[in-house]
Amino acid sequence: MERLSEQVRKVRRWLIDQPFDGILLSEQKNIAWLTGARAYVNLATERSIVFFLITESETVMYCSNIEKERLLAEEIGDTVGEIHVFPWYDPLLAESITQEQSKIGKVVLDREVESAFKAVRSALSPSQVADYRQLGKLSAAAVEETALGLQRGETELEIAGRLANAAIKRGIEPVVNLVAVDDRVSAYRHPLPTDKRLDRYVMIVLSGRRNGQYISLTRLVHFGVIPIDLKKKHAAVCTIDSRLMHHTRVGQSMGDLFKEMKAAYAAVGYQHEWKNHHQGGLTGYVGRERLLQPDAQELIQANEVYAWNPSITGTKSEDTILVTESGPEILTLGKEYPLMTVTVAGCTYERPDILVRNDG
């Protein structure tokens, strides 16, 4: 499997400069990054159902007899090399593998070196970039299908069900599925869906996962004429988002980008709104690998993926972008939503407007 071989080479290059001889990848995010596999049965766990030991000379896969056949046939392929299968009734713990291997050379668990390994995981390969572009199109289509199918009187839970269906049938796991209607859009930044019924206004938020990759977007729908104040706020938040995107460039520090974010809020007249919610950050094989923080020194790299989500009370702008050498590429723009154009330093950015529905 070419992807596995390519990623193993990356790990081995990283190991050269580390004070240990090998690493055991045991968490879903790292197995997904390594192989593209769905390394879980239970969605609500970080633990993977398959482990990979990587050293300078070895690549060994560990899994139970329950999982082996499906993993090889449907997820990973049959070119792994050495495979260690253990019976389900005698589970092999990750810690016991590292202890046994450390008799030969020092081996660490991935979670023990998470901070260091994050840099390896964040820069995507060409095949991973291609997967992300496809995921962006599918995610946008799922959210747009939901927005166009809404009916007044539906509950937030029913709308969330629509969104989950639209995502899952496209192979996307809706790991974050937020819906707010009417006054709840202004009341809560993270609105878990309730049985409140839609009258005029709804916010739909999806963070979807496919083969381990996370992607995020938010869309707004209004039935009837949009209030002037809401129009003003949405234009402002789209301007902030566009400025964040524009400055998400190779070599830019996250700390400097934080300053740019604050200036963007102030420039549109909402100086303190940034304090009410985080602004998003680096994504990839975790919903947010790293949030935008004032003291962050990390530099933005090519082929990283970011999801900014600036908000002003009652509205929000969110899409996922790929960092390229020539600038940001928006991955989650669909075909059905109205767009507004924002110009930043001579560059134009298309941002989804509020979809107006006059039916229902």
Q: Which CATH superfamily is domain 126-357 in?
A: Creatinase/methionine aminopeptidase superfamily (3.90.230.10)
Q: What is the DSSP letter of 302?
A: T
Q: Which candidate, 296, 302, 321, 310, places its Cα nearest to that of 246?
A: 321
CATH number of the domain at 2-122, please? 3.40.350.10
Q: What span, in angstroms and rounded, lies between the C-alpha atoms of 178 and 255? A: 29
What are the sequence ranges of the domains in the chain? 2-122, 126-357
The string of pLDDT tens digits covering residues 24-40 is 999 999 999 999 999 99
Concatenating the DSSP letter of every residue in 19-53 gives SSSEEEEEEHHHHHHHH-----SSTT-SEEEEEEE
Same fold, 2-122 and 126-357: no
pLDDT of residue 219: 99
Residues 277 and 286: beta-carbon distance below 8 Å: no
Q: Which candidate, 148, 124, 143, places its Cα nearest to that of 207?
A: 143
pLDDT of residue 95: 78
pLDDT of residue 255: 96
b/e burial code for range 290-324 (CB count within 10 A of at least 16 → b): bebeeebebebeebbbbbbbbbbebbbbbbbbbbe
pLDDT of residue 327: 95
Concatenating the DSSP letter of every residue in 150-162 gives --TT-BHHHHHHH
pLDDT of residue 359: 80
- Alpha carbon 307 to chain centroid distance? 7
The string of pLDDT tens digits covering residues 230-272 is 999 999 999 999 999 999 999 999 999 999 999 999 999 999 9
Residue 299 in 3-state DSSP?
strand
* CA dihedral for 323, 327, 333, 338, sign (positive or negative): positive
Q: What is the mean pLDDT of each run of 10 residues along the chain (360 residues)?
A: 86 96 96 96 92 93 95 86 90 80 84 95 95 99 98 98 99 98 98 99 99 98 98 99 98 97 98 98 96 94 98 99 97 96 98 92
Q: Is 40 left (phi over 0), alpha (psi -120 to 50) or beta?
A: beta
CA separation (Å) from 160 to 150, 171, 191? 11, 16, 11
